Amino acid sequence: MIDIVTLDEHFIVVNKPSCLLSVPGRGPDKQDCLSARVQREFPDALTVHRLDMETSGLMVFARGIDAQRALGRAFEQRLVRKRYEAIIDGLLATDTGTVDLPLICDWPNRPRQMVSHELGKPSITHFAVIARDRQLVRTRVSLMPVTGRSHQLRVHMAALGHPIVGDSLYAATPPAPGERLLLHAAELSFPHPRTGEAVTVRSAVPF
């Protein structure tokens, strides 16, 4: 069963649950994924982008190769706008800001990524505080990535000293059993692959 948010002749937007792969991984135990589930119902669906396995929220699939090319160009040209919602540890001091820290894969510890000013690729994330929970000492934030590096939001928040709650890779203490990563792709805007008109899709945050 897939959670279809928007269905169009040229694309499909679905909600990915947390702890489901976006695309198949290596090995027979990693073949169940969102792309396979979508393609079982819509054989013309093609992958355009990915979310981390632990991240939930909106993913767009192209319907057909022409739509895939158009949406792929939109991602490459940064015409796609993404807004995530997360809960981070600690009380963020500023209401808005930008993290500009280059990232590269930490090969000995992959899939971890790390900040590297010498070798990293440019990585930029804008953030804005939604609410501060002084009792739990946590902050709910909107995260707007300009670039789309692997684990970008997770590394950038950890680099600020405020890792995302439930992060098994970058938090100082491991999450409790059954605790998910509190990161959700809540809003996605992109040009329609045929008409070029702006399409904006939103998803309710499940935490």
Query: d(Cα 93, Cα 85) in Å, to the nearest integer?
Result: 18
- CA torsion sign for 58, 72, 7, 188 is positive
Q: State phi, psi for 192 to the nearest 5 degrees.
A: -55, 130
Catalytic one among 3, 52, 66, 167? 52
User: Hunting for tokens 């396995």 — which residue is that?
Assistant: 53
Three-class DSSP labels, 31-89: CCEHHHHHHHHCCCEEECCCCCCCCEEEEEEEECHHHHHHHHHHHHCCCCEEEEEEEEE
Would residue 48 be called left, alpha or beta, if left means φ above 0 and alpha means ψ between -120 and 50 degrees?
alpha
Residue 52 among the catalytic residues: yes
Active site residues: 52
